[in-house]
Amino acid sequence: MAASNSNRSLVITTEDYPLHRYARGTREALIHHGITRDGPFPGDPGEKKTTCKAVDPSGREISIRRASKTTFSVFRDWSEEEKAAMDARRAREQAVERAHALVNSWPKSAASFRAQVVDWADYTLGLLEGRLIDGENGGYRLSDDGARRLEGLVDELIALIRTETIVMDQRLRDGYIPSCILKAVKAAEESALTQYGDNVVPFPLAPYRPPLRLDSAACSPALKGE
């Protein structure tokens, strides 16, 4: 039982905040985990009962406050180097999260791609027809013959989108996958191919959950640099 009590006395709580790191525990636990040196602590000779300034084992300034009869709270401000590293890590995680959202927004099949493009074409070409035929811009419009030809071309284009074969160009797809998640995407696709064959291509990524091991390359589509 004594050993169990001793182990519990060495437990500490730590939390990282934007401006500082926080730790709480007994004097023995804080010293054991390298949070503080062996003094001074609040209440030591020459120190205030509730707070004091000290340095940690690495020589960094810390503030110690008495939290209870047996425990203390320790606060240490981040160094400029630590702040820069945290900002860089946060930026990488945000880039990875955006990359996952981009890839997961892509159509999951040729049929869904076709449906998206048909909707987009209907809307966009409808705007073009209105611009060229309705005469809302000062009365200027296509001639009646030109309007009939335009309507025929629009119908022909929509029919082509609805009926022509849609292919998925894997090289182009890989080129537009942001480089920071390319390995993860390819691994997910290969795993799904092994399990399901060619019935579900392309494959969506699982929702992003940081932290994630990040590739060192910048998170940008490979094709942008070609």
Confidence of residue 188 (pLDDT cuts 50, 70, 90): confident
29 and 111 inside one domain: no
9 and 54 inside one domain: yes
Tens-place pLDDT, residues 128-173: 999 999 998 899 999 999 999 999 999 999 999 999 999 989 899 9
Instruction: Supply the pLDDT for residue 212.
Output: 38
CB 53 within 8 A of CB 61: yes
Angle 211-106-159 from CA coordinates, rounded to 5°: 180
Kindly give, in sequence order, each residue whose CB lies less than 8 Å from that of residue 105, ignoring residues fewer than 6 positions away.
Answer: none
* Closest to 212 in 3D by CA, of 185, 177, 193: 185
Q: What is the mean pLDDT of residues 196-220?
A: 49
69 and 168 inside one domain: no
Domain ends where: 55, 78, 101? Answer: 78
Q: Is residue 83 part of a domain?
A: no
Tens-place pLDDT, residues 84-113: 999 999 999 999 999 999 999 999 899 999
213 and 157 inside one domain: yes
Domain that holds residue 152: 91-225
74 and 97 inside one domain: no
**Domain total for the chain?**
2
